[in-house]
Amino acid sequence: MTSGIAYSRALKVRLGPAGVHVFDRRSSLNLLLDELGPPRSMWSLAPRQISVALTNACDLACPYCYAPKSPGRLAADTLLLWLSELDRHGCLGVGFGGGEPTLYRGFTQLCRAVSEQTGLAVTFTTHGHRLDDAMCAELSGVVNFIRVSMDGIGTTYERLRGRRFADLRAALGRVRSVSPFGVNYVVNADTVGMLDAAVDVASEAGAEEFLLLPEQPTDGRAGISGQVASSMRDWVSRYKGPIRLTVSTAGADGLPACAPVPAERPLDAYAHIDARGVLKGSSFDSDGVAIDDDGVLAALRRLRQRSEGQG
């Protein structure tokens, strides 16, 4: 076993401070054997999950978007080397984002290469409007989960996202033929009053998860207000909807956020690679450590040392 990781075509095993984590990307099985305590020398070196901004480009202009507006695009061959290294050292899944990942040239080929050449689960977050029948056919059997952004419904969605809501609903119908999917929902003053209706739309489309993303501050916006956050908390406390509800750790503000593996340090659970090849603790961080010829694990060591020094 190499650095706390072993996998066959079916199962992958990750060792860490919480125990032994068994994962099957095909069925989404996650089993934590917390009664086992592997020695520290066998703990996985890579984060459990890595997110990657393939490009900063996007064909929408949502006013609350926090993604960088500077040019940026990762080279596929370099990215495959990084992901293979993370895979060998215990990473379980990669989530592609941006910008809009479906604008990335060769996106479907990249997803297939990662699926075939690594043991990583492949997911991505998208606005959904480029997922036509041809792209969905290429992604079928390749990706393990898709997250579709839907902020508000009807004319509110159309005002915020600049696309027809009917087109989004049609895209959701195509997505369900590719893989299980969830809906990402930015919560702000425009969208908080539509939560019940949005859950109904997501449920009717076959979504398995509804993820609340409290709006984060950007250069031009202050983020979610205290009043809206309070309304969101009240709604969550009453929620009895038909699909799984989750809340982003960013802006959760007292709400129960998902921490699937206890005892993980932040960089054990998750890290982010931006479209310039900079490794960060999260996509919201303003700076990080550039990944150089030494590889992504070397950058991770430097980022951990810097983070611990600051702590």
Q: In whole angstroms, what is the distance from residue 136 CA to residue 8 CA? A: 27
**Please, which pLDDT band fits residue 256 given cuts at 50, 70 and 90?**
low
Give the count of alpha carbons within 13 A of 168, CB side only.
24
List Cβ neighbours of 191 (8 Å cut-off, separation of 6 or more): 151, 152, 156, 160, 185, 198
d(CA 99, CA 72): 9
Q: How many CB atoms lie within 10 A of CB 24?
A: 16
Q: In this model, does residue 6 exceed pLDDT 80? A: no
Length of the chain: 311
Q: SS3 of 4, please?
A: coil
Is the predicted pLDDT of residue 5 greater than 50, yes or no? Answer: no
Task: Provide CB contacts within 8 A for 9, sequence distance 6+.
Answer: none
Read off the pLDDT of residues 172-211 as tens digits, 9 standing for 90 and up: 999 999 999 999 999 999 999 999 999 999 999 999 999 9
- pLDDT of 69 reads 76
Is the pLDDT confidence value at 259 over 70?
no
Q: Hey, what's the torsion of the CAs at 138, 141, 143, 146, to 10 degrees?
A: 90
CB atoms closer than 10 angstroms to residue 165 = 17
Residue 310's pLDDT band, with cuts at 50, 70 and 90, is low
Domain ranges of the chain: 46-310
Q: Where are the alpha helices (DSSP H) in the chain?
A: 76-88, 107-117, 133-139, 154-161, 165-175, 195-205, 226-238, 266-269, 296-310
How does DSSP classify residue 19? E
Higher-confidence position of 171 and 247: 171
Question: If pLDDT is split at 50, 70 and 90, which confidence band does 249 have?
Answer: confident
Q: Among candidates 72, 190, 183, which has minimal Cα distance to 126?
A: 183
How do residues 144-168 score in pLDDT, each as one tens digit?
Answer: 999 999 999 999 999 999 999 999 9
Alpha-carbon gap, residue 225 to 245, rounded angstroms: 21
18-60 tens-digit pLDDT: 899 999 998 888 898 988 889 999 999 999 999 999 999 999 9
86 and 46 in contact (C-beta within 8 Å)?
yes
* Residue 30 φ then ψ, to 5°: -130, 120
What's the rounded Cα separation, in Å, for the pair 10 and 19?
20
Euclidean distance between CA atoms 22 and 5, whole angstroms: 10
Q: So what's the pLDDT on residue 28? A: 84
Would you say residue 3 has pLDDT above 50?
no
What does the pLDDT read at residue 279? 98
Average pLDDT value for the chain = 91
Fold of 46-310: TIM Barrel (3.20.20)
Averaged pLDDT for residues 234-246: 94
For residue 8, what pLDDT is reported? 43
The pTM assigned to this predicted structure is 0.91
What confidence score (pLDDT) does residue 26 get? Answer: 87
